[in-house]
């Protein structure tokens, strides 16, 4: 039976409708789904969303793809994206995303998924689509947007100067300051405009100053 299902469902992450289509030849497909769940052949991530069990996967499921599917509209950002880009050293527990819906948290059999609400105008800028093969892809914030989202989330921090911002990035977030030079200050300025955030605008100025300083060092080398 599982071989037949796997021929019809090539991806590791799939929804209820896909599963019903794969089981259309059975007289009682809903009963068959319950049987598949009880035997661990499939795992319910949340209502209407599944992955195959350990013994029946062709490849590992993608927590990034699942993050986009569990709650939307959303894309990966904040701590998980910062770790993905190597901007922070710590391994992040669970996948963090931003959304235009209300903030939510989902504890599932395959991990923790957290969603933070941001304004629609800010949501519509600074995301990339990453293809991972087998027709699968996920949306993730650009490095600039992930850091801007994190700074926005920490709204209690009263950062007034570039020095204060640099200290906050290095001490509180443990951001690799050298990696900031690879960011695009124009992108940060555009994101700051969407957020109407002086802190993010200051981040853009800090990155611009760091890039200028690096250019001056190279010219004197």
The answer on pLDDT for 170 being more than 60 is yes
Collect all residues with Cβ–Cβ distance below 8 Å to 216 and sequence separation of at least 6: none
Give the pair of three-digit tokens for residue 152.
């926005």
Residue intervals in the chain for CATH 3.30.460:
64-214
Digit-coded pLDDT (tens) for 32-56: 999 999 999 999 999 999 999 999 9
Q: Is 25 exposed, middle or buried (0-12, 13-18, 19+ CB in 10 A)?
A: exposed
The answer on pLDDT for 220 being more than 60 is no
- Taking residues 5-24, what's their average pLDDT? 95
Sheet holding 13-15, edge to edge: 13-15, 49-52, 42-46
Give the pair of three-digit tokens for residue 121.
């105008």
The whole-angstrom separation of Cα 78 and Cα 142 is 10
CATH number of 64-214: 3.30.460
Task: Supply the pTM of this predicted model.
Answer: 0.92
Strand pairing of 74-76 and 95-99?
antiparallel
């Amino acid at each position: 039976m599982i071989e037949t299902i796997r021929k019809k469902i090539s991806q590791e992450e799939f929804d209820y409708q896909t599963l019903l289509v794969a089981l259309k030849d059975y007289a009682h497909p809903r009963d068959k789904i319950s049987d598949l769940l009880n035997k661990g052949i499939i795992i319910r991530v949340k209502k209407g969303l599944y992955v195959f069990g350990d013994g029946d996967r062709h490849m590992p499921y993608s927590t990034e793809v699942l993050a986009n599917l569990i709650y939307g509209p959303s894309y990966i950002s904040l701590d998980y994206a910062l770790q993905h880009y190597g901007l922070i050293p710590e391994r992040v527990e669970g996948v963090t995303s931003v959304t235009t819906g209300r903030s939510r948290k989902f504890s599932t059999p395959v991990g923790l998924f957290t969603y933070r609400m941001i304004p629609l105008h800010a949501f519509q800028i600074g995301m990339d689509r990453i293809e991972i093969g087998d027709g699968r892809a996920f949306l993730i914030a650009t490095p600039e947007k992930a850091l801007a989202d994190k700074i926005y989330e920490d709204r209690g921090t009263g950062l007034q100067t570039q020095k204060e911002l640099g200290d906050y990035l290095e001490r509180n977030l443990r951001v690799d300051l050298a990696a900031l030079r690879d960011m695009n200050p124009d992108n940060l300025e555009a994101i700051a405009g969407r957020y109407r955030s002086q802190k993010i605008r200051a981040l853009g100025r800090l990155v611009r100053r760091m890039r200028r300083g690096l250019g001056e060092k190279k010219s004197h080398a």
